[in-house]
Amino acid sequence: MTKRMMHNIIAVIIILCVVVFFRLYEPPQKETNAGVQTDTTTFVQKSDLAQNKIIEQERYAIDPNTAALDELLQAGFTRQQAFTCIKYRKSGGVFRYKDDISKLYTVSAEDYENLKAYIDLPAKSAQSAKNVNVATQKKSNKPEPKSYEKKTYETKQIVKQDLNTIDSVALTKIPFIGAFRTQKILETRKKWGGFYCISQLKSLYSFDSTACANVEKHCYINVANIQRVNLNTCTFKEIQNLPASSYYIAKNIFDYKKIVGTIQNVTELVKNNIVEREKFEVLKYYLRTE
C-alpha cells in the first residue's frame, strides 16, 4: 500500500466520523420543542396553583390596627395595600369596623370582599346593634325622672333711660355692655357733653352692632340733656374735643370770633362758611351762644 492510498483512507475515515457525529447529536425538531415547552408551562401552572393553594390555606385573621407588614401580606393584602394601611395607622387612623378597610384608596370593593373574612374586627351593623342594646339596657335600669311642675315667668318690661343721664350701675346691667364698655360710654359722654344719637357709640372702641342694639333696647336720647359749649366763652380745646370737630375747625371759629367779636347765632358758622355743613349738622347739638 502506497503512502497516497493511506492518506485517502484516513480522509474517508475522518469524513465518516463527522457524518456519524452530526447524526447522533442532531438538534430536536420544532415539534419536539413545542411539546417540551407545553410540558414546562403545564408544570409551572401546576406549581403556581399548588403554591396558591398553600398560601390560601395559611391565611389567618389579623387585627389591622396592630398587624406587621408580613402579617398583612399573609392575610391577603398586596404590598401596596399593606404599606397604605401602616401609613394610615401612623397618621393616627384607627380601624374600628371591618368596613373601615374599604376606606383605604388602594382597596377596591372586590379586594374588600376578598379580605373581610381575614379582618379580626366587628362588623359595623353588629356593633351598632350591640351599642343600641347596651344603651336600651342602661336606659331601662335608670329610675324614671321625677315630674316637676312647669313654672311660668313673667316677662319684665324694660324701662328705658336717657343715655345722657344714665349711671354706671344701670349701664353695666345692660347685656353685652359690662364694666369696660360702661367706662367708655361715661368717658366719652364727659368729653363730648353727651350723645345726640345712639349710633355714635359705634365710633367707640369695642362697640359692635350687637352692643349698640342692646343699648338701644334699654336707652333713649334726650338732646336737651347734652352739655353744650358756649361759643363766646369756651376754650380752644373744648371746641376741638367735640365730635366731628378738629384743630382746623376750632381755629376757624376762633379766627371768626376775632373778627365779629361776639357770635349771635350758631348758624353763622355755616352761613359764613366757617364750618362745612356736614360737620355743622353734628356740631349744632353741642354749641350755643348764650
Domain ranges of the chain: 45-126, 161-225, 229-288
- How do residues 234-273 score in pLDDT, each as one tens digit? 999 999 999 999 999 999 999 999 999 899 999 999 999 9
Per-residue pLDDT at 206: 86
Per-residue pLDDT at 33: 47
| Bridge partners (DSSP) listed for residue 220 | 162
Task: Output the CA torsion sign for 143, 144, 147, 148.
Answer: positive
The alpha carbon of 74 is separated from its chain's Cα centroid by a whole number of angstroms, namely 39
Query: What span, in angstroms and rounded, lies between the C-alpha atoms of 133 and 139?
Result: 10
- How do residues 165-189 score in pLDDT, each as one tens digit? 999 999 999 998 989 999 999 999 9
Task: Indicate the fold that domain 45-126 takes in CATH.
Answer: DNA polymerase; domain 1 (1.10.150)
Query: What span, in angstroms and rounded, lies between the C-alpha atoms of 286 and 243?
Result: 9
For the chain, the distance separating the N- and C-terminal CA atoms, rounded to the nearest angstrom, is: 170
Kindly report the average pLDDT of the chain as a whole number: 80
Scored b (16 or more CB within 10 A) or e, 167-198 reads eeeebeebeebeeebbebbeebbeebbbbbee
Which residue type does 59 have? R
CATH architecture type of domain 229-288: Orthogonal Bundle (1.10)
Query: What span, in angstroms and rounded, lies between the C-alpha atoms of 203 and 9?
Result: 131
Are both 45-126 and 229-288 of the same fold? yes
The alpha carbon of 49 is separated from its chain's Cα centroid by a whole number of angstroms, namely 51
Per-residue pLDDT at 96: 85
Per-residue pLDDT at 51: 47
Give the pLDDT means over successive 10-residue stretches in the chain (290 positions): 74 79 60 46 48 54 86 86 88 85 86 84 64 56 62 72 93 91 94 93 89 92 94 93 93 93 92 93 92
Per-residue pLDDT at 188: 94
Per-residue pLDDT at 31: 46
Beta strand extents in the chain (DSSP E only):
161-162, 219-220, 229-230, 287-288
